[in-house]
Structure 1
Amino acid sequence: MKKHVVILEARGGSDKGPYGFRKDSKPIIDSFKKRGWSAEIIFYRDEDRGEIYRYIHEKADAYISRVNPGNLPDETGYFQMLKELVSNGIEGLPHPDAMVAYGAKNSVEKLKGTDIVPEDVYAYYDFDTLKENLPKSLAKGVRVIKQNRGSTGEGIWRVEVIEKDKYKGKIPLDAKLKLTEAKDNHTEEKSLQDFLEFCIQYLEGPNGMLLDMPFLDRIIEGEIRVLMLRNKVVNVVHKKPAQTKDAFSATLFSGAKYRYDKPDKWPELVKLVEGMVPTMQKRLGNYDLPLIWTADFILDTDKKTGNDKYVLGEINASCVGFTTSLELSEDIADEVLALLDAESAVNNRWAAFTR
C-alpha cells in the first residue's frame, strides 16, 4: 500500500473556508496522519484531468470525492476520470456509479412502494412524458417538482393550481399555477403551459430529469436530515423552514433554522433508515455504499393509523459536509482504512465463490 489518500474538491461554491477548500476536509487529513497515513486535497479541473489521474494512480490508494457536480461546468470528464481510477485499482469513495445512483433525484422514484417512499412519485426524462403526466398529478393536489442537479433548493418548485376547484380531472394547459422555489421561497405565477416550457431546461443534457412527488404539509414542522457513514446513522439534523408566508424550504440560505442531534434522539427514524439500507442498496444498483451520504425525510401522517411516518425527500452523496461535527473525521478515517485493509486481502483477479 502507498498509505496515501487524495481528497478531490472543486473551486468555488458556498461551502469553502478562507483558503478555498472545505472546512471539514482538513480534519480528515489530520485524522489520517494520526494513523500513519498521509492525505491531501486536489482541486479538480477538466484541463488538469490527465495529470490528476496519473498522480492519483501513482501516489494514492483511494480518493474521497467531495466535489459538488453543480460546481463543474460539465461533470462528464470528472466522472470519466473517476471510473478510470476505479477500474485501475484505486478505491473509489464513493464509486462514481454509486455517486450517480444515490445522488440523482430519481433515486427516490426507484424506492417508491417501500416503507419510505409512496407510490405517487414519478420521474420524467423527456418533455412529452412531462406534458402528459404532470397535469394528471396536479389534479391530485399540490406537487413538488425537483430538477436532477442543483443545490440549496435551486430548481425545486412547489406547484399549486390556482382555483383548482374549477377543474375536474386533468388540469388544462391554460390553468394558472402558483410556483414557489425552495431556493429562497419566492413565488411567481405561470400558466401550466408556460411552466412546462420553463421546465425544458431541466430535461436537457445526459442527466436531465425531473422528479414529481406530492407536497407534504408537515414540512413546516421541519425536514429531518440523516447523516450516514456507510450503513450507520451518525448524526441527525432537524431543519425547520422560516416561519414566513409560503416558506417551505429547509436551506440555511432561505432562513431555515437548524438543530443538530445525536442519533439516540431519533430512535424510530434510526431503526427505520438502518433497516432500509439493504433495500436501498439493492434498488439503487447494488453498489458499495457511499462513504458519507445523507437521506432527507419529511413527516407525514399514515391515513390508516393516524401515526407519524417518515417520507424520503432526497438522497445526497456527492459532497456531504459535516462542519458541525468535525469529530466524525476520526470515524471516517477508521472506516476508510478498514475498507482498504479488507480490499487488500482479496486478489481481484479471482472471482469469489458464488452459488
Structure 2
Amino acid sequence: MSQTEMAKVAVLWRGDHEARKSATPANNRFYRIFEELTAIGIAAQPAVYSDEMVDEVREQLLNVDGVLVWVDPIHDGQTRVVLDAMLREVASRGPWVSAHPDVILKMGVKEVLHRTMHLGWGTDTHLYRNTSAFQSEFPSRLESAGPRVLKQNRGNGGQGVWKVEQISPTGSDTVLVRVLHARRGSVPEEITLHEFMARCEAYLRPDGCIVDQPFQSRLPDGMIRCYMGREKVVGFGHQFIKALIPPPPEGPDSDAAQPGPRIMHPASAEPFKALRAKMELEWTPQMMDVLNIDSASLPIIWDADFLYGPRTESGKDTYVLCEINVSSVFAIPDQAPAAIARLVNERLRKK
C-alpha cells in the first residue's frame, strides 16, 4: 500500500439482507468505531453478514485490507461454522482478520480456563473431554468439593453454564442436585444427578468439552470485565450480575432479577490498579506463552471477565477468571474506539 493510498477496513456483524442493504457507518451500534477509524484516515465500511450472503460478503472482504469481526458463537440457533471457514479463506488470501477464528479457538473458549489454571487468575479447574471421564470424575468431585460451575466450551449469554450443588445426603439411592442455568430468566431446578449429567452430554459432542470450576461465593459482589486492546488494558466494566443467583420472590422476569448496569471505568481507574498491573505485566504475557499466540495475532479488542476470589489475610481482593470474550466484545468503554482505531492503524502499517 502506498503512503497516499487510503487503507480500507470492513466492520462485520450479523444481520439480514435488508440490514446489509441499509447499513451505513452511522446507523449501527459500532458508529463510534467508524468515526475513529475515519478520523485517522482509514476508510471503514459496514459488512453485514449472514450465512445466506457468505459469497457476497467474501467478495467484499477480499477487497479490503483488514476485517474487524463482531459475531457471537451462538445466536438464535446460528453458529459461526460457515463464517469461520470464510474468514480463514479471506485471511489466507491477504486481508488481516481480527479476531482470526484460530485465535478464537485458543482464547475465546472455556478450555482456556483449564489451560491457564496455573496462572494467578486460575482456580481448582477440571476438564472433561468425553462422557466416560465426566461420569467417573464429576460425581465424587461434586460431593467432596461443594457447589460447582460447569461450562460448555463455546457459548455466550450464559448458554451451557450451570451452577450445580448436591442436595441429597451421601449414600442416597438417588443423588439429587439443585441446578441453575446462567441464562437470563432461569430458575433453580431439582433433578437427579443422572438426569442432569445426561443433559450435559450434548456439550461433549466431537471437539467439545466441559470445564468444571468451584462456585465463587463472592459472586454477589459483581463481575469485573477487563477490556484489552491487544496487550494493554483499555478500560474496565463493573456489573452486579444475576446469573447463577436464584431469582427473588418477585420472579425471574421481575426488575429485581435483572442485572445492574455495567459501570464503565477508564484503564487508569484506581480501584482496578492492581488488576491492570497483573493483566499487563504478568497474566497476558503468560497466557500468550501458554497458548502460543504472538502479539500480532492478539485480537484488537477482547476482554477477560473476573469474579472476586477469597480475600487475602491482609484483606486484599483476589481475582478468578471466569471467561475470555473474543468473538463479540460490546459494549465497550468510551476510550476503547480510539484505541481500536490506533491499533488497527498500527497493524495495517506493519502488514
Q: Does 1:203 align with 2:204?
A: yes
Q: Does 1:296 align with 2:305?
A: yes
Q: Does 1:77 align with 2:82?
A: yes
Deviation at 1:55, TM superposition (A): 2.4
Q: In the aligned structure 1, how far is the partner of 2:122 from the partner of 2:106?
A: 16
Aligned length: 327
RMSD value, Cα: 2.8
Deviation at 1:105, TM superposition (A): 0.7
Aligned-residue sequence identity (percent) comes to 27
Q: In the aligned structure 1, how far is the partner of 2:28 from the partner of 2:150?
A: 32
Tell me the amino acid that sits aligned with residue 297 of structure 1: F
Aligned residue in 2 for 1:110:
115
1:231–1:289 contact (8 Å) kept in structure 2: yes
Q: Secondary structure at the match of 1:104?
A: coil
Q: In the aligned structure 1, how far is the partner of 2:65 from the partner of 2:95?
A: 6
Deviation at 1:201, TM superposition (A): 2.0
TM-score (norm 1): 0.84
5 Å-filtered alignment, 1:143-162, equals: 143-162=148-167
Q: In the aligned structure 1, how far is the partner of 2:264 from the partner of 2:306?
A: 15
Q: 2:68 aligns with which of 64, 67, 92?
A: 64
Q: In the aligned structure 1, how far is the partner of 2:142 from the partner of 2:31?
A: 46
Q: In the aligned structure 2, how far is the partner of 1:205 from the partner of 1:68?
A: 20
Aligned residue in 1 for 2:326:
317
Aligned residue in 1 for 2:57:
52
Change (3 A) 1:243 1:203: closer
1:46–1:77 contact (8 Å) kept in structure 2: yes
Deviation at 1:295, TM superposition (A): 0.4
Q: Secondary structure at the match of 1:70?
A: coil
1:227–1:294 contact (8 Å) kept in structure 2: yes
Q: What 5-or-longer segments of structure 1 have no aligned partner?
A: 13-17, 344-355
Q: Does 1:273 align with 2:274?
A: no
Aligned residue in 2 for 1:337:
345
1:100-154 deviation per Cα after TM superposition (whole angstroms, max 9, x unaligned): 2111111111101111102x21122221111111112202111001122332222
Q: 2:138 aligns with which of 116, 120, 134?
A: 134
Q: Does 1:11 align with 2:15?
A: yes
Change (3 A) 1:274 1:48: same
Deviation at 1:27, TM superposition (A): 1.7
Q: Does 1:229 align with 2:229?
A: yes
Deviation at 1:202, TM superposition (A): 1.9
Q: Secondary structure at the match of 1:159?
A: strand
Q: Secondary structure at the match of 1:113?
A: coil
Aligned residue in 1 for 2:291:
284
Greater alpha carbon shift after TM alignment, 299-308 vs 22-31? 299-308
5 Å-filtered alignment, 1:179-258, equals: 179-184=179-184, 185-206=186-207, 208-242=208-242, 246=246, 255-257=258-260, 258=262
2:182–2:243 contact (8 Å) kept in structure 1: no
